[in-house]
Structure 1
Amino acid sequence: MHAEFDFDGDVVLVTGASGALGSAVCQTFADAGATVAGTDVVEPNEDTELDRGEVPFYRGDLTDDEDAERVVSGVVEAHGGLDCLCNVAGMWKGGDPIEDTDVETFQQVFDVNLKTMYLASKHALPHLQESEGAIVSVSARASLEGGEGDGPYRASKAGVRLLTETIAEENEGKVRANAVMPSVIDTPANREMMPDADHDSWVDPADIARVVLTLCSDAVPPTSGAAVPVYGEA
């Protein structure tokens, strides 16, 4: 069985669009006919839909309230509305126990992982309420339990999960909000960081993007406030 999705006429905003997962989400929605807008604090990678201009790119720092509002407003003004928000922006940083973790690292991880999701959602929600749209955010399998050496990452991704549940509860019947929980994503950066790992067990960004698209579609109308595992075999 092969499911086909038609997002023709829908406007989708993807944060963290310059990264491996963000660019895969952009491509998946574009392939389904959506009007896709990507945003990130860094320029897109070469030879991607954003780099070639096939997906409009809005550079912005979504840890800044005014910049986040500017990006969302710019997308809405350019494309006439907003139907889906995909909060993909994120980072991993760790290696130290809590007593050795400096405040700057803690703040950076929370800003990138949780604050961007909060600010993008905050400014997108009024438009998504009008369109009865959807939000999908990227949490993490690691958010389900504590672990050694990456407490800020785990805590920030748990925050993404809980904020997703809150948005779903506050917007019941108006905006669906769900999260996906990857483990290790098969990206060039992760392979470089962990060259001896079992890469075959990692999840392809395109497969995660397909789940994100499904959660934004009308295929799962009762699903809101969920945290969906996308572990693969990892």
Structure 2
Amino acid sequence: MRARPPRTSATRTASTTAPPAVAGKPSCTGDAADVPTWDPDALTLTGNTQAIDTSGAAAWFEPTVSLSSLTIEFTRRSGFPVYQTWFSVFARDITGTVTDTDAAAPVEGATLTLTDANGDTLATTTSGPGGAYAFPGQIATDGYTVTVTPPTGQIAVVGSGTADLRSADAVVDLSVRDIVPVAVSGTVRDSDGNPVPGATVTIPRTPVLSRSRRALTARTCSTKCRSAHGSPR
């Protein structure tokens, strides 16, 4: 059996008690002494020296870097070749809490989105009681991003965070706060710099203005704009 991972390096370990041993891996039932030998230079895994058929040969190819593809070539040495190939990946969890920084309290009902290193959406979820959320069972790699969509009437303080699952589970805590209305004022002038009375000034509705459900308008007086109240801060 030969493994040729392109554009990357990798190591192979066998599920035996001899180095490089990896405990706890699945294996065939049968002769536990039937252990293959790995040649790292030839990238070849060879069965027992006598080429005798048994049901005990087992080994695991464990890449230490990301693979774009994997090719395995099998060559029969003697007898009738019967073999099995397993493919598995490590899975880890991304968890966290969404908090309201103004109230110092957890936020229930916030929408969380998980994307990968390419920006593709993998999953969405909603924060539950206590502001907690979870994306369980994600492939153990890096490049994940969790983004929060705040509930109506709030904006993000810490709106996103990254997660690296290569060695352990990850925790990404996020936070939001209430939108605070403030006054906006100014002066409308013509191209010569003169004040323009009676002009209508409009602040269009945006997602953060969803609480007002409408655009904000004001009309200028003789010298300057009136304040347009209710703009978010």
Structure with greater strand share of residues: 2
Q: Same fold (TM over 0.5)?
A: no
**Structure of higher RCO (CA pairs closer than 8 Å, 6+ residues apart):** 1
Give me the TM-score of the superposition, normalised by structure 1.
Answer: 0.22
Structure with greater helix share of residues: 1
Give me the TM-score of the superposition, normalised by structure 2.
Answer: 0.22
